[in-house]
Structure 1
Amino acid sequence: MRVLVTTNAAVDHFLPLAPTVAALVADGHDVRVGCPESFAPFVRRTGFDPWPCRETAASTPAPPAPPAEERQARLMWAVTRGWPADCRGWVDSLLEQAAAWEPHLVIVEPVEHAGRVVASALGAPLVVHGWGFALPVGVDEIAAEGIRDVYDAVSTTPSGPVLVVDMGPASVQAANAAPARRYRYRPFSVPDQPVPPAEAERRRVLVTLGTYAHADAAALMRAAADAALQAGADVLVVAGHQDRLAGDPFPSEVVVLSWVDMVAAMQSCDLVVHHGGAGTSWTALSCGTPAAVLPLAGEQFRNAQILATAGAAAVCPSRDHDGLASAITSALNEPRLAARAAAIARDNQALPDTADRVGDLVSIGNSSAVEAT
Structure 2
Amino acid sequence: MRVLISSIAAHGHTYPLLPFAIAAREAGHEVTYAIAPSFHPLVERLGFRPVAAGGEIREAFGQVWAQSGKDPRDRFSTPPNEVMAMAGRVFGEVLPRRTAADLAPVLAELRPDVVVHEAGDLGAGLAAKVAGIRGLCHGFGRVAGGKMLARAGDHVGGLAAELGLDPAVVAGPGLGDPFLDVCPRSLQDPAFLAAFTPDRAPRVPLRSVPFAEPAPLPAWVGEPGPPLVYLTLGTAFAEGSVLRTAIDGLGRLPARVLVAAGPMIDAALVDDLPDTVRVEQWVPQADVLPHAALVVHHGGSGTTLGALASGVPQLLLPQCADQFDNAGAVLAVGAGRRLLPGEATPDAVAEVASSLLNDPEPRAAAGVVAREIAGMPSPAEVVAALLV
1-10 or 187-196, larger mean C-alpha shift = 187-196
Identical residues among aligned pairs (%): 28
Contact 1:213 1:241 in 2 (8 A): no
Deviations 1:331-360 (A, max 9, x none): 222211111111211121122222221123
- Corresponding residue of 1:247: 269
| Residues 41/103 of structure 1: CA separation in 2 closer, same or farther (3 Å cut) | same
Partner of 1:210: 234
Aligned residue in 2 for 1:10: 10
Match of 2:199 in 1: none
Does 2:103 align with 1:103? no
Question: How far did residue 193 of structure 1 move?
Answer: 3.3
**Structure-1 separation of matches of 2:371 and 2:356:** 21
SS at the partner of 2:307?
helix
1:82 aligns with 2:90: yes
Q: CA deviation digits over 1:172-196, x for unaligned, max 9?
A: 2233334432232222211223233
SS in 2 for 1:230: coil
Separation in 2, partners of 1:137, 1:248: 34
Q: Does 1:356 align with 2:378?
A: no
CA shift, 1:88, in A, is: 2.7
Q: What secondary structure is seen at the aligned counterpart in 2 of 1:295?
A: coil
**How far apart in 1 are the matches of 2:293 and 2:257?**
10
Across the aligned residues of Structure 1 and Structure 2, the Cα RMSD in angstroms comes to 2.7
2:46 pairs with 1:37 = no
Aligned length: 358
Tell me the secondary structure at the aligned position of residue 191 of structure 2: coil
Q: Distance in 1 between matches of 2:160 and 2:289?
A: 42
Q: How does 1:224-373 map to 2 (within 5 A)?
A: 224-245=246-267, 247-249=269-271, 251=273, 253=275, 254-317=277-340, 318-363=343-388
Indicate conservation of the 8 Å contact 1:193/1:259, yes or no.
no
SS at 2:40 equivalent: helix
Unmatched 5+ residue regions in structure 2? 197-202
Are residue 165 (structure 1) and residue 180 (structure 2) matched? yes
Q: Following the alignment from structure 1 to structure 2, what is the Cα–Cα distance between the partners of residues 283 and 47? A: 24
Q: Give, as a single letter, the amino acid of the residue that structure 2 aligns with 1:32.
A: T
Give the Cα–Cα distance (whole angstroms) in 2 for the partners of residues 187 and 10 of structure 1: 15
**Does the Cα contact within 8 Å between 2:266 and 2:281 map onto a contact in 1?**
no
Contact (CA 8 Å) 1:312, 1:337: kept in 2 or not?
Answer: yes
Residue equivalent to 2:79 = 70
TM-score by length of 1: 0.86
CA distance in 2: counterparts of 1:175 and 1:315, whole angstroms: 21
Q: Which runs of no fewer than 5 residues in structure 1 stay unpaired?
A: 364-373
1:55 to 1:181, Cα distance in 2 relative to 1, 3 A = closer
Residue 328 of structure 1 deviates from its aligned partner by 1.6
TM-score by length of 2: 0.83
Q: How far off its partner does 1:285 sit?
A: 0.8
Give the superposition deviation at 1:164: 0.8
Q: 205-214 or 82-91, which moves further after superposition? A: 82-91
